[in-house]
Amino acid sequence: MKLFRTDATKSGVTEVTPRLAEVEADVQGLVEAHMETLLGVRFLASEYGTGPVHGGRIDSLGLDENGSPVIVEYKRGVDAGVFSELGGRSVPKPLICSSLKPNR
């Protein structure tokens, strides 16, 4: 999706050139601070541990409007490690957002 910025007189627009963040933590902090506005998700935790069995962590954890957990992982690019970490699903970059539905 292209992004645009209005000029000072608001009579024209300029396309914003995309760039990768220098550090994933910069993007993570920005998204977590504005998660409700950007994603419609209530922020719960940063670097949430998945416990001793899995031994991992979730970059950002939140809840959607239905109370379902939402996991946000931040990656600068897509490689084999990203796919194995996320269960082999094809995912967009650099922000990966996945809503999990509980088993019923």
pLDDT digits (tens, 9 = 90+) for 71-99: 998 876 655 555 555 554 444 443 445 44
Instruction: Centre a 10 Å sphere on the Cβ of residue 93 and count the other Cβ atoms it contains.
Output: 13
pLDDT digits (tens, 9 = 90+) for 18-55: 777 777 888 899 999 999 999 999 999 999 998 888 88
H helices of the chain, where?
Answer: 24-33, 35-39, 80-85
Q: Quick one: pLDDT at residue 77?
A: 61
pLDDT digits (tens, 9 = 90+) for 57-66: 999 999 999 9
| Residue predicted with more confidence, 79 or 7 | 7
In angstroms and rounded to an integer, the radius of gyration of the C-alpha atoms of the chain is 16
